[in-house]
Amino acid sequence: MRANPVTAIIECIPNFSEGRRPEVIHAIVEAITAAAPVTLLDTSSDPDHNRTVVTFIGEPEAVAQAAFAGIAKAAELIDMDQHKGEHPRMGATDVVPFVPIRGATMAECALLAKQLGARVGSELNIPVYLYKEAATRPDRYELPDVRKGEYEGIRESIKTDPTRKPDYGPVALGKAGATAIGARPALVAYNVYLNTGEVRVAKTIAKALRFSSGGLRNIQASGFLVEGKAQVSMNLLDYEKTPLARVQELLKIEAARYGVTIQFSELIGLIPEAALVDAARWYLQLDRFEPEQILEHKLTGSTATDSTSDDPAGFIAAVAAGTPAPGGGAVAALAGALAAALPEMVAKLTIGKKKYADVETEMLALASRAESLRKQLTAQVAADSAAFAAVMAAGKLDKDDTNRAPNMQAALLHAAEVPLMVLELSAQALDLVLIAAQKGNVNTITDAGSAAHMALAAAESAALNVRVNLKSITDGGQVRQMRGKLEMALANVRTSHTQVLGIVASRGGL
């Protein structure tokens, strides 16, 4: 027997030049998740850097399609002439790296980068520079070299300097700027905050750390002033060759020269588990430690090399992790998706059975409608976490910032809209459950009953999340309108739930 081929999984981590407007961040993330069947892993926004990093995985074609949709939406909503932030940038979508995760090679990621670059250049009219393993020239291998001069500098130099001619797209910058697209190994992006406000110290330490100025190989580093503190912002381009602990220890030594210490550190986006395991080995002197000794590996049957597989245990572990997201809203969406999946199953187990030939056409339609709802509700799992991230981003804005209040209101409104959609979609799913219970294969009647309970749980849980966000929204008209939709949908769900249980009982399921 031949083994099934391993599905190629690629990670994409686009960086967008927006970290202050939650409605824009949400629109970009929604465009990504709606464009193709990809899994959103993380959204990280920083208002000081005015930048958002989105992380998602999927099969190659899906990842490329989702990335294109994100680039297109960013070009529509971000004007680089108005953009200001601490982080270097040259475009609305600044950089799009592809990373091979499972069943894919670096060469395949480089080819994907070139294909996406050609499409972005021709269809969106955005200059594209290929970098890292997709680079067509040695002087474009490193991202800082590609980005040199940033948006304002490239806008002028691209007109006259032949070395600035892009790999794809026009030889001119519009308001969406330029985009770097490439292929690279997984990197670790993290920031270290010092107990000083002197940005000069952070810049000096960064210079000592980064490889381009004589520091550690595989390290990019810069110094910024963020929230009143000096920050050393770093990318570890190869954490296996230049481990996290080594970087941290050198940073401590350099900081001590100026009489400062590390106050705290933060990750940007995601980190490979192997990088943390290596740091634990070093700091705790666990020389004989093996990843198989991690409790969660034993519980889930996973390994460090397969930690990105789409497994329910991964989502459950994320919910249990003690972080604010994913939380109740995402769980409600998942419950709704399961509620839609069950009538789809019932329909498919009814189709083709002679006993149910008279309802086959109806079951075919039911399966199609249920599949569509299942996919919509599944997308809301990630959308809920993204909406919460937008609220958090708005909350990080300075209290004196005039944009803080409107941004927070927009974020809260969207954070209520997502669970309201979950509630309304769950109500639609329950309508399908009613058909499945009435006309589906009687051997699946308890599955229809289970679907009814899941839909009710999804709706009631989603309603809680709508209400808690509406409490902080100041627009009374919007609050009344959404409350009206909530109560109507919830009443329909409760009525349909009771009807389904009655049918289940009458067909021998209780």
Q: Which residues are marked as active site?
A: 87, 384
Are 178 and 154 in contact by the 8 Å Cβ rule? The answer is: yes
Q: What span, in angstroms and rounded, lies between the C-alpha atoms of 75 and 125?
A: 10
Q: Which two tokens stand for residue 407?
A: 């941004």
Closest CA to 433 of 498, 350, 340, 364: 340
Strand, helix or coil at 216? coil
Q: Which two tokens stand for residue 87?
A: 């982080």
Q: What span, in angstroms and rounded, lies between the C-alpha atoms of 346 and 445?
A: 8
**Edge-to-edge strand order for the sheet containing 219-226?**
219-226, 229-236, 188-194, 262-267
Are 32 and 40 in contact by the 8 Å Cβ rule? The answer is: yes
From the number of C-beta atoms within 10 Å of its C-beta (0-12, 13-18, 19+), residue 297 rates as: middle
3-state SS string for 423-444? HHHHHHHHHHHHHHHHHCCHHH
What DSSP state is assigned to residue 3? Answer: P
Q: Which two tokens stand for residue 461?
A: 């849980």
Helices then strands (H, E): number in the chain? 15, 11
Are 249 and 192 in contact by the 8 Å Cβ rule? The answer is: no
Nearby residues of 15 by Cβ (< 8 Å), 6 or more positions away: 51, 52, 53, 93, 94, 95, 96
Strand, helix or coil at 100? strand
Q: What span, in angstroms and rounded, lies between the C-alpha atoms of 158 and 127?
A: 10
For 333-386, give the DSSP string: HHHHHHHHHHHHHHHHHHTT-GGGGGGHHHHHHHHHHHHHHHHHHHHHHHHHHH
